[in-house]
Amino acid sequence: MMRWALILLALSLPAHAAGVEDVMRGLAAVRESRAVFSETRSIPELDGALPSRGTLSWRAPDRVEKHTTEPVEERLTVEGDTLTLERRGARQVLSLDTAPEVRALVEAIRGTLAGDLPRLSTFYDVRFSETGSEWRLALYPRSVRLASAVQSIVVTGRGTQIATVETQERGGITRMSIEARP
């Protein structure tokens, strides 16, 4: 019985691998995209969720921008190895080389948008599944330091569009819904 289970498992692996490779190849082909987002952050100490909304943009090979318009205007831009945060007239710049945990969080999104599975696998144990035309990428931090703050990041999508990003943190859950814009 165990032998048949192992044979069936072995036969199912190439289809699973082909699925993630197909999704990653499709994402890698997208050179530029724009979207709107709505996000809620649930913190156990609060009765309600903290909402925010804004726009997202991606330009290959490595530029991601999250522009929050509500409740407080804020712009977070990552390009190359530099993260820039602009809020209330103040500007902070951080080199990702000096912040490995921040780099890992950035790469969860940037690596997915770039369709770069080897890059994602550097920072995360990657688990992929498909149901019909929808896919799910579950990322579990390899770094003990990052895992102490973030338990998982789950990205879902359809085709080359990311639909949601859910981050399970020690202090709560952040859910982002994303809708592509031309």
Distance (Å, rounded) from C-alpha 68 to C-alpha 179?
15
Query: Is residue 112 a contact partner of residue 137, using CB atoms and an 8 Å limit?
Result: yes
What are the DSSP calls for 120-179, one per residue?
HHHHEEEEEEEETTEEEEEEEESSHHHHTTEEEEEEEEETTEEEEEEEEETTEEEEEEEE
The SS3 call for residue 8 is helix
Given this model, what pLDDT does residue 46 score?
A: 74
| 2-51 per-position pLDDT tens digit | 333 333 333 333 334 569 999 999 999 999 999 999 999 887 777 778 89
Q: How far apart are CA 78 and CA 111, in angstroms?
A: 12
Token pair belonging to 11: 């036969």
Report pTM.
0.85
Structure tokens at 62: 């490595």
Are residues 54 and 67 in contact, defined by beta-carbon separation less than 8 angstroms? yes
Bridge partner residues of 11 (DSSP): none
* Other beta carbons within 10 Å of 142: 14
DSSP element (H, E) containing 116: none
Residue type, 171: G
> What are the residue ranges spanned by the domains of the chain?
18-181
142 pLDDT above the threshold of 70:
yes
Query: Using one digit for the tens of pLDDT, what is the confidence trace for 88-134?
Result: 999 999 999 999 889 999 999 999 999 999 999 999 999 999 998 89
CA end-to-end distance (rounded Å), the chain: 53
Fold of 18-181: outer membrane lipoprotein receptor (LolB), chain A (2.50.20)
pLDDT at 178 over 80: yes
